[in-house]
Amino acid sequence: YKVLRFQSLHFLCVLPFVNLHPYVSLLVCGTPLNTRIVGGQDALAGSWPWQASLHRFGRHFCGGSLINKEWVLTAAHCFSSPSTSNLVVYVGRQNQKGSNPNEVDRGVTQIMSHPNYTRSTNDNDMCLLKLSSPVTFTNYIRPVCLAAPGSSFHAGTTSWVTGWGTIRSGVSLPSPKTLQEVEVPVVGNRLCNFNYGVGTITDNMICAGLAAGGKDSCQGDSGGPMVTNQGTRWIQSGVVSFGKGCALAKFPGVYTRVSQYQTWINSQISSDQPGFVTFSSSGTDSDLSVNLSPSLRISLYLALFIFPSMSPSPCCGKTSPTA
């Protein structure tokens, strides 16, 4: 069965010019003070200063990422209704239980789900939240850079995912529920499609995980960021979206591919646009050598185009999200 990652991963110098232009997201994005998720570890405070926690009725239900002083990027599947009531966004938060000296909270005035989000296929699983008022950047609250169109994330690209989700399917993060971080390599779209069933993984998705499993995002991590380091910056490549179970061998986590959405994001955010940065992988992508055998290709062709009802259904048996 498939599970949406609803309800429920360094050290860099602070750049000297950051204080001169604290309001320009492109200049400050992706530069933390320091530089569960399944198989993860406690994050140090300030390591992932763009991480947001979305609460409804006082409970964490999804993650998100701060992309400028008043917008948070998250997943569309986190919102079954467009109502902003009882919604609170925390940034600068480290623990879900106990004290958080560096956090601030805001209400939400707008939930903008991507107009082409399709619940049955998880395509375009992306959403923007406008905060009730801007936040001030600190060492614990800072926007992430977003992957610009044309970014390349070859198979094996080291990535980090962060969140307060369950540590295994059905097992919640133990108190004090400290933000978890986990390192996972990108899995190419060809291989990911081969594992999930060809057609399930669209160009709007990016996969990451170990072939043997054991490290992954899970329920409650949805909407949170997958980031990759380039020089002095951290660039968000993905938004936690879905997966088959959590951390299962051959079933990597599936993320919304951020580099597909600059036009849409900038059409929603008119001032102080987020920092889009191109991520470039070097060498050749090993995913290009993932080839399907000719006989398998014929059966996939038949399944997808001649007998579409036989094609793997991405939606069957998906558990409903629970808070």
Ligand X SMILES: *[C@@H]1O[C@H](CO)[C@@H](O)[C@H](O)[C@H]1NC(C)=O
Which residues are catalytically annotated?
Answer: 77, 125, 222
Written as six digits, the tokens of 309 are 């009802």
Coil, strand, or helix at residue 199? coil
Least separation in angstroms between CB 130 and ligand X: 17
Residue whose beta carbon is closest to ligand X? 116
Classify the phi-psi angles of 301: left when phi > 0, otherwise alpha if psi is within -120 to 50, otherwise beta: alpha
DSSP classification of residue 258: G
Q: Which residues of this chain interact with ligand X, rule CB under 6 A?
A: 115-116, 264
Question: By C-beta, is 118 or 139 nearer to ligand X?
Answer: 118
Written as six digits, the tokens of 114 are 């991507």
Least separation in angstroms between CB 113 and ligand X: 11
Question: By C-beta, is 208 or 265 nearer to ligand X?
Answer: 265
**Integer Cα distance of 205 and 101 in angstroms:** 36
| 13: amino acid identity, one letter | C
Question: By C-beta, is 116 or 322 nearer to ligand X?
Answer: 116
**Residue 86: which residues within 8 A CB-CB, separation 6 or more?**
56, 57
Least separation in angstroms between CB 206 and ligand X: 17
E strands present in 224-318: 225-230, 233-244, 253-257, 276-277
Reference 32, options 306, 235, 290; nearest CA is 235
Least separation in angstroms between CB 116 and ligand X: 4
Least separation in angstroms between CB 60 and ligand X: 29
Coil, strand, or helix at residue 166? coil
**Integer Cα distance of 160 and 260 in angstroms:** 19
**Integer Cα distance of 118 and 242 in angstroms:** 13
Q: What is the dihedral of CA 100, 93, 186, 314, to 10 degrees?
A: 120
Question: By C-beta, is 115 or 317 nearer to ligand X?
Answer: 115
Question: By C-beta, is 237 or 260 nearer to ligand X?
Answer: 260
